Structures are given as C-alpha cells and as structure tokens.
Chain A
Amino acid sequence: MSAVLDEPLQTIERPVPRSQRGPASTEVTTTYGMWLFLLSDIVMFAAFFAAFVVLREHTAGGPAGRDLFHRHTVLLETGCLLLSSFTCALQGIGVEYRNKRTTYMAAAATLILGAAFMFLELSEFMQMIADGAGPGRSAFLSGFFALVGLHGLHVACGMVWLLVMLAQVATLGFSPKVVRRLLCFSLFWHALDIVWVGVFTVVYLGAFA
C-alpha cells in the first residue's frame, strides 16, 4: 500500500509531510522514554555534584583530595570506561546485523572493562577507608563517597542489566523487544560515561588544579 502511495510522490520529489506519516515507530518512542529517564538521572547526579562542589573545601582538618587521589588510578579507570563505551557501540553493530558472535564478544569485553573499573574504584575506596578517610571523616569525604559511589552503583547495575540482556539474547534471540532493550542499555551505558567525564574532571582533576 505504501509503495503505491510513495511512487507518485517520489516522482514529483515531495516528501510525505510529518503530520501525515502516522505515529512514530516503537523504537523511536521507547528510546525517547529512556532518554527522559537518563536526563532525570543526570539531574539527580547534578544535585550530588552540587553538594560535592559546595563541600569540597570543608575537610574538617582531615585529608584533602590532593592528598588522597592518585592520578594514574583515575587515568586507568577513565580508560576502562572509554573503551567499554566503544565495545558497547560495537555490540550495537552486532545487534543491528543480528550477529550473535559479535554481540557476545563485545558484551564480554564491556563486562570485563566494567569489572576492571569497579575493581579499581572499590580498591581505592577500601584504601581510603583503611587510611581513616572514610565517608564519616569530613563533609568533603561524605560528598565524595556519595557522588563517586552513586556513579559506581550505576555501573554495577548496568553490568547486571547487561548480563540479563545476554541471557535474553541467548534464550529469546533478537526479537524486536530484546533489540529495543539492548538499545536502551547502550544509551544507559554511554550516559554513564558522560557522567564519569564530569566526575573525573570535577572531583579528581579539580583536586589538583
């Protein structure tokens, strides 16, 4: 039916007006819903950023960021997340071409890089707490653990989500529902990377600047 309609319109080179195209596809509306969720998530992060920035000088005589953070650890963490964003994009290509092998390989790389990030972050937290610089030490450290910990929690949840999605690909195949969920997952993972850019700039590099 659409082929019959399209032919004469194409010969006079006039596209169908947007008002006559009918409702948007489910893919567009679903990713828009996910987009709204991500934006509200980022607004929540903004509140944590604001708290951290307000409290960063209030160390209560305790250690400041300059004494606690290691530049090379942060660089490694950033590298892990950037590469995992890339492998997540490769996974998207695998999904688009309905190629299970590419999807699994890219997802495994994403999971390994995410796990490496979590390991680095948790060992940093453990070291700080062992050195007496836990979240209860000063307002600065409360803000730090709340903000960076919230981001880490998001990464951990994202990894669980990815595992669930892999199980769905294995059992349900690339059904339209599964493909849409994978699309939402990649949006979530890339948005986390954007938040991390803010974290490493404001929290870590800002401590040395």
Chain B
Amino acid sequence: MKTDMQASRDDERPGASAELRTKLLKYTGGLLLSIILTGVSFWVSGTGAVWPGGVPVLLAALAIAQMGVHLLMFLHVSSGPESTNNIMSLAFGVFVVALVIFGSMVIMNSLDARMNDMPADARPDAHRMTMAPGG
C-alpha cells in the first residue's frame, strides 16, 4: 500500500506543479465567472433599470453563458481530439433539449389559444350534449 503510493508519487511528470497551478487558476476563474454571472442574473431580475421586455432575453443569455463556463472550466469540454465524440453527442443533446422545450411551448400555446377561441357548441364537451337528444 505504502510502496504503491510512493511509486505513483515518484513517476509524477516534470512540470507537474505548473500544471497544478493552471488547473487551480482555471477552477478559480470558473468559480469567479459563475459568481459574477449569477449575481448579474439576480440583479437583472430584481432591478427596474432594465427595460422589462428585455429581461427574459437577458436572463436566457446569462444562463447560456454560465452553462458554457461550466462546460469549459469544470467539465473540460475542449476542441481536442479526445473530445470530438463528446462534442458531437453534446450537440445532439442540445438539439433534442431545444426541440422538446420549444416544441412543447409552441404546440401547447397554440392549442391553448385555439381552445379559447372555439365557439361554445364546438367544444369537445358540447359534442355529447348536441348528439344526445337526436341519438
């Protein structure tokens, strides 16, 4: 056990401390960036200084930026050859997520609007009442 630990410590590559410093900088940078982005998100949603119509767009942009920071800084998504498969599947995942969320929103909002416009005798529950006396 002891010798295993020793061996793994001995074959550390030269320049490992520089690597450690870059990693620490990367993680600290990631943390600071996400704190800033979160702070701005909360400020935007609470202040009256931003035109109300722009608030949702701004919040969406900040959230996407923060997800990007997490992917790059913490999940180590990069343009390197080892990441190619991860990036392709990420792109497909983002596509499916967008399809599910925006597709549901569009379809359900459209249905909702049509149901409200419908004349009273054309509603699904009116069908039974008009058919019952004749049948």
Contacts and interface: CB of A to CB of B under 8 A. Distances in A.
Contacts of A90: 27
B35 A82 contact: yes
B18 interface: no
A53 B103 CA distance: 11
A132 interface: no
B63 A54 contact: no
B31 A42 contact: no
Interface string A151-190: 0000000000000000000000110000000000011001
Given A53-B104, A194-B67, A209-B55, A89 B86 contact: no
Interface residues of A, number: 50
Given A53-B105, A54-B104, A206 B96 contact: no
B8 interface: yes
A35 B35 contact: no
A39 B66 contact: no
Contacts of A112: none
Given A43-B100, A50-B100, A85-B70, A208 B45 contact: yes
Given A35-B89, A98-B5, A187-B75, A208 B101 contact: no
A19 B102 CA distance: 40
Interface of B is mostly: helix
Contacts of A198: 63, 67
A12 interface: no
Nearest to B101: A50
B104 A50 contact: yes
Interface string A26-58: 001001100110011011001101110110000
A31 B83 CA distance: 10
A197 B63 contact: yes
Given A82-B35, A88-B74, A201-B63, 12 more contacts: A18-B81, A35-B90, A49-B101, A50-B100, A85-B70, A86-B28, A86-B31, A173-B4, A197-B66, A198-B67, A205-B45, A206-B56
15 contacts: A35-B90, A39-B92, A39-B93, A46-B100, A50-B100, A82-B31, A89-B27, A93-B20, A93-B27, A98-B5, A198-B63, A205-B45, A206-B56, A209-B45, A209-B59
Interface of A: 18, 24, 28, 31-32, 35-36, 39-40, 42-43, 46-47, 49-51, 53-54, 71, 74-75, 78-79, 82-83, 85-86, 88-90, 93, 97-98, 173-174, 186-187, 190-191, 193-194, 197-198, 200-202, 205-206, 208-209
Sorted from nearest, which 7 A-B pairs have the closest CB atoms?
A50-B104, A39-B93, A201-B63, A205-B45, A46-B97, A89-B27, A54-B108
Interface of B: 1, 4-5, 8-9, 12, 16, 20, 23-24, 27-28, 30-31, 34-35, 38, 41-42, 44-46, 52, 55-56, 59-60, 62-63, 66-67, 70-71, 74-75, 81-82, 85-86, 89-90, 92-93, 96-97, 100-101, 103-105, 108-109
